[in-house]
Structure 1
Amino acid sequence: MSPLSIIIVGAGLSGLAAAIQCVLSGHEVTVLESARELAEIGAGLQITPNASRLLQNWGIYQKIRSCEPSTISVYRYTGQLLAHEDNFDQNIKYKYGAPFSDMHRVDLQQAMVQKARELGVNLVLGTRVTGLDLETEAPRAEVYTDSGVIWDADLVVGADGLWSKTRECLLGKSDPPLPTGDLAYRIVLRWDEIKDERLRDMVRNPGVRFWIGPGCHAVGYSLRGGEMFNLVLLVPDDLPEDVARADGNLEEMKKLFAGWDAVLTDLLSNISTVHKWKLLHRDHLPTWTSPHSNLALIGDACHPMLPYLAQGANSSIEDGAVLGLLLASVTDVEQLPETLGTFQRMRKERGEEIARQTFLQRRDFHLRDGVEQEERDRLMTSLLGQELEGPFPSRWTCPIVQKWLYGYDAEKEVEKIQRKSGVP
């Protein structure tokens, strides 16, 4: 086999997943990352079976101190229980053969970096990509950087996130993200910062908790074996159009949730500082690959998602894995057009459908008090303690959405496609 030279732009979760699987598939991989160091920053992630099975296959999941929530509950903002599932961790493993896990983003990224380096990935920090030449001969792509160094490769993988430069290069124009009308307060509390013993016990016994209300909702879950609690508050966007992140005002934040369930407001009373992030999205692209098949986009560069199903990270890891698995059978650049075409057919429709479902989940969780909200609550409470069979307003436990979302097995999907095409 003649290995491809692959440059991956971005050392986020999608880029690292692609790097790991591309090296395992026999190729030479360099990752270019603009950050000078992969700093200890970030918040919680919910890793669902469609991604955790890949992390297990790579030997990464076992190295991360995470929490597998034993319950998942949805409360109305008043505190009324709308939905609840006991033994959630066991049920998920039984149905999908892999865990549902809450973990710190930093822990996952660091474990993936370590794995990539062990496999021989060349990780270059402090290097910002400023442009691409996708029209070069060979048809190798050239990658321009702020240091003046020009890299070239058989294939460039654009994994540079929401503010993607590689996406702009593919489109040939500026393409800023679009506001969704929402923003997120992201909070991580240490166990010793929580004063109430009842709340401490809740953190030590991991579960996922949603509070849903008019135009807003909140989600909380434990991290690092119960040493931390991650809380995300999703509210209407009040940031200026040109501001994506800002320091938050504690009193302003608490006022938004005044009168909500005391468990949530008591948690908020332990917070000393807070930041808020504008939630952005992008229109669907006509294609994720370049005409010469020397660029492919993955992750937030091509399908950013609202966080309302926690699938931004999970689908990005899927993207990287599927691309790497498909490249295992590629021994020559002449095979890239067909392979990248297969990648796009496998991933584009799924990624765009997940993104659509996140907007639908926002709608169902943010209903204003009234007839639709009453019908939603009546349906949910009527099924408390029963096995769900049909559509359900919380897609986290909806048997229809959960099956195709969590049941996705990247390796089996690639094997299925390759059998159909006669690839050995």
Structure 2
Amino acid sequence: MGDAPTPQRLDIIIVGAGLSGLATAIQCALSGHNITVLEGARELAEIGAGLQLTPNSTRLLQKWGVYERLSGPCEPSTCTVYNYTGKILAHEDSFDKNIHRKYNAPFTDCHRVDLQQALVERARELGVKVVLDAKVMGLNFGKEKAGEDSEPPKATAATENGQSFSADLIVGADGLWSTCRSVFLGRRDAPLPTGDLAFRIVLELSQIRDEKLRKMVQEPGVRFWVGPESHAVGYSMRGGDMYNVVLLVPDDLPDEVARMEGSLEEMRSRFTGWDPVLTQLLSCVSRINKWKLMHRAELPSWINPQSNLVLVGDACHPMLPYLAQGANSSIEDGAVLGLLLSSTSSSPFVGKSQLPARLKLFEKLRKKRGEAIVRETFKQRRDFHLPDGPEQEARDQIFEKWFGKDIGEAFPSRWTCPVVQKWLYGYDADKEVEAALAGGEK
């Protein structure tokens, strides 16, 4: 008998150094491949504010050696839902401990930039080449359609500044306004408005004078205020030195405008009569931005016919912020793709000829889940934005009667819903891939 074949190192180009791209880069590098990340920005300072990391992604960040690099991650000890006047609809003490007990991984609030920097630092340690000021303008996939057991043709990516990169596989991780998606579809494919926008706010502790509010910020908890057509989310970051607030309201931006500076007067007037805790926080804000919330229709496939392009993250399943799963699901995507391209005891050799089958398996494992989460976010939006009236009263009665009990059906806050929380937070990318490969799937 001859020697077993040596695992093949694939040349993989990842378009975009956001969270999905860097997560994919890390797991693909750990799987033994040559990784180049092409990023259009001249420096990595991702725009954004806070984000919530749930156990389905924090267990991956811990495994990769990324979690401990985060700057002052805050694990919220409470989770509270208020109606817009400040009445408590639901409250959970020991939220952090309960999450650890159920999922063996933390629920953490952090700054998006801190996570991006931690990911890129780890990626570079693993030998990933991150090329900045490399905006991808064109892709060429070759003409051959890859068969089930044939090698896909080489793909190339051309950048705005005239560089060209060749790869066995291109991963389109370039976000909501994805160039890869448009090239894949053969037409410009703009995101669709949802009818909502977000005011995104980050407050330094020094901006907050009221002692009760300062104490609230320094004792991390997740807070939701739900009201007619709008809701607000607040949580601490960076060890309690910073507070993140997101206000979700009806969209009044022009069709062609995705983001612009907002009016403080307008923002505060929208929340007149809401809980004084929230309005006091809003009185501390000195500058505000408005972000149009966008979504996309589901794609028939995330893989091109040549099997040398695959889309991940917001390029194929952008998510509204109502369940905080956009970042978490993107990290899952990167982990599953990289794990499927690794050599294991049940699958000792992954090379170019295995790409078509492995990409199909990636799509099978991820597409249904990603699109299910997208649909669930719209349900959460509805439940949190009910106008005052019979439906809102019925929702509040469910909160009052059933919170904290396993009722076997959906709860109005999916953050603590015994049904939805399990399949969101309990997802384990490693076990998902292991089970698929052990079950005989290619």
TM-score range, shorter-chain basis? over 0.9
Q: 1:133-172 maps to which residues of 2 (within 5 A)?
A: 133-136=140-143, 139-172=153-186
Write the distance in 1 (CA, Å) between the matches of 2:380 and 2:172. 28
> In structure 2, how many angstroms separate the alpha carbons of the residues matched to 1:281 and 1:53?
27
- Number of the residue aligned with 2:89: 82
Q: Which residue in 2 is equivalent to 1:375?
A: 394
| Length-normalised TM-score, structure 2 | 0.94
Residue 392, structure 1, aligned to residue 411, structure 2: yes
Distance 1:422 1:287 in 2: 19
- Equivalent residue number for residue 251 of structure 2: 237
Aligned-residue offset at 1:349: 0.4
Of 53, 58, 61 in structure 1, the residue corresponding to residue 59 of structure 2 is 53
Mapped contact 1:170–1:290 kept (Cα < 8 A): yes
2:4 is matched with none
Cα distance in 2 for residues equivalent to 1:94 and 1:258: 39
CA RMSD of aligned residues (A): 1.2
2:28 to 7, 18, 22: 22
Q: Is the 8 A contact 1:70 1:90 kept in 2?
A: yes
Q: How does 1:235-274 map to 2 (within 5 A)?
A: 235-274=249-288
Equivalent position amino acid for 2:267 in 1: M
Distance change (3 Å), C-alpha of 1:205 and 1:387: farther
Q: Secondary structure at the match of 1:416?
A: helix
> 2:46–2:112: 8 Å Cα contact kept in structure 1?
no
Question: Which contiguous aligned blocks of 4+ residues in structure 1 show a shift greater than 6 angstroms?
Answer: none
Pairwise CA distance, 1:390: 3.1
Tell me how far apart the structure 2 counterparts of residues 39 and 18 of structure 1 sit (CA, whole Å): 19
Task: Give the Cα–Cα distance (whole angstroms) in 2 for the partners of residues 410 and 384 of structure 1.
Answer: 29
Query: 2:161, 2:267 → 1: CA distance?
Result: 42
State whether structure 2 residue 322 is matched by structure 1 residue 308.
yes
Which of 10, 17, 27 is the matching residue for 2:16?
10
Q: Which residue of 2 aligns with 1:411?
A: 430
Q: Are residues 1:195 and 2:203 paired?
A: no
- Once residues 300 and 185 of structure 2 are traced to their aligned partners in structure 1, the CA distance between those partners, rounded to angstroms, is 10
Shift of 1:383: 2.8
How many Å separate the matches in 1 of 2:13 and 2:132?
13
Q: Deviation string for 1:342-389 (max 9, x for gaps)? A: 000000000000000000000000000000000000110123565655
* C-alpha deviation, 1:135, in angstroms: 2.0
1:108 aligns with 2:115: yes
Q: Whole-Å Cα distance in 1 between the matches of residues 331 and 134 of structure 2?
A: 23
Residue number among 351, 354, 360 corresponding to 1:341 in the alignment: 360
1:228 alignment partner in structure 2 = 242
Mapped to 2, the partners of 1:49 and 1:39 lie a distance apart of: 25
Question: Structure 1 269/422 Cα, relative in aligned 2: closer, same or farther at 3 Å?
Answer: closer
Q: How many residues align?
A: 423
Alignment match, 2:149:
none
Give TM-score, length-normalised by structure 1.
0.98
- Whether the 8 Å CA contact 1:25–1:324 is kept in 2: the answer is yes
Whole-Å separation in 2 of the counterparts to 1:122 and 1:196:
47
Cα 1:105/1:296, change in 2 over 3 Å: same
Which residue identity does 1:188 align to in structure 2? V
Distance 2:294 2:135 in 1: 22
Say if 1:206 and 1:387 are closer, same or farther in 2 by CA, change over 3 A: farther
Check whether the contact 2:18–2:46 (CA below 8 A) recurs between aligned residues. no
**1:173 matches 2:187:** yes
Please give the alpha-carbon distance, in whole angstroms, between the structure 1 residues aligned to 2:153 and 2:427: 34
Cα shift at 1:21: 0.3
The one-letter code of the counterpart of 1:253 is M
Deviation at 1:44, TM superposition (A): 0.4
Write the letter of the residue equivalent to 1:125: L
Q: Is the 8 A contact 2:46 2:116 kept in 1?
A: no
Note the C-alpha offset of 1:331. Answer: 3.1
Query: How many percent identity over aligned positions?
Result: 65
Work out whether residues 136 and 142 of structure 1, in 8 Å CA contact, stay in contact via their aligned partners in 2. no
C-alpha displacement of 1:417: 0.3
- 1:391 deviates by 1.9
C-alpha separation in 2, matches of 1:385 and 1:151: 53
Letter in 2 for 1:293: S
> Structure 2 regions of 5+ residues with no counterpart?
1-6, 145-151, 344-348
Q: Kindly provide the amino acid, as one letter, of the partner of residue 85 in structure 1.
A: E
The aligned residue for residue 147 of structure 2 is none
Taking the aligned partners of 1:77 and 1:107, their CA distance within structure 2 comes to 31
Say which of 70, 79, 96 aligns to 2:77: 70
In the alignment, structure 1 segments of 5+ residues that lack a partner are: none
**Equivalents in 2 of 1:113, 1:168: separation in Å?**
26
1:214 aligns with 2:228: yes
CA contact (8 A) 1:81 1:381 kept: no
2:124 paired residue among 101, 117, 133: 117
